[in-house]
Amino acid sequence: MTIHIYGSCAGTEPIKGWRHLSFSIDRLGKQYFFDAGESCGYTAYTNGINIAQTRRIIISHTHMDHVGGLANLLWYIRKLDTQCGLKACPQIDIHIPNLETWEGIKMILKNTEGNFKCDFKIFAHEVSDGELFYDTEDDMKVTAYHNTHLPQEESGKWRSFSYLIESEGKKVFFTGDYGRISDFSNILNCNNIDLLMIETGHHTAENTASALKEAGIFPKFLGFIHNGPDVRRSPDETVKKAEDILGVKTAVFTDGMTFEF
């Protein structure tokens, strides 16, 4: 499994070298994007990723630092497909917790050149708890679990989600923003997690490692992403503290990193 990191920063003012959250998982040449922070399409393509082969885009929640690059990513894919000879996937599925946000993005795209007419189809799906998809050809399965970063609406809908990603016999759990470790402790305790990708924008790395230990959660590998100031100031110190507390191999994901897992 190959993971490409395009943005690893929490929702901040512009900081040189740290863009807002986005990464993709490469499955047999197809890209599965998770979140679409600022300029993720540009960063991916200029780092040598064929974004025309984007199969799905999965959004954790619709705050700007998670969707700010979505319209531009799709615009680049259309440009590469129609003008640069890079054939796009026949269909791109977007999994997004709030379809109102997608309607706004769609309007932005429709008001660009050519009414954003594409040779490929785009389908948007509103995220809810449970299995989002299982692409057997690519051996890629994603299951959604709500978290309390955003409150439950009166209608009963949740608007912020974490994702269990299963491929090649491995399990990766990703959460953009979340409320508390108990949001997903039962899920992690019931699954043998190979990689936990967890944010430090709202929770310090030290407190996160301590909370995971208290909850009895010991992934095989811990990766900090959507990083806050303590991690950005001293990634090496962050890794040492987390490993001392939790006793598992730890890494700080940074922009431009490619991680073979």
Q: What is the pLDDT along the chain (261 residues), one digit of tens a residue?
A: 899 999 999 999 999 999 999 999 999 999 999 999 999 999 999 999 999 999 999 999 999 999 999 999 999 999 999 999 999 999 999 999 999 999 999 999 999 988 999 999 999 999 999 999 999 999 999 999 999 999 999 999 999 999 999 999 999 999 999 999 999 999 999 889 999 999 999 999 999 999 999 999 999 999 999 999 999 999 999 999 999 999 999 999 999 999 988
The first and second tokens of residue 198, run together, are: 């967890």
CATH code for position 119:
3.60.15.10
Nearest alpha carbon to residue 25 among 220, 171, 181: 171
- Residues β-bridged to residue 165: 142, 172
Q: Give residue 182's domain range.
A: 2-260
Which amino acid does the sequence have at 112? T
Q: Indicate yes or no: pTM above 0.75.
A: yes
Q: Hey, is 47 helix, strand or coil?
A: coil
Q: Please state, in angstroms and rounded to a whole number, the distance separating the CA atoms of residues 226 and 196.
A: 13
Q: Please state, in angstroms and rounded to a whole number, the distance separating the CA atoms of residues 29 and 39.
A: 21
Report the number of distinct structural domains present in the chain: 1
Residues 6 or more apart whose Cβ sits within 8 Å of residue 134: 140, 141
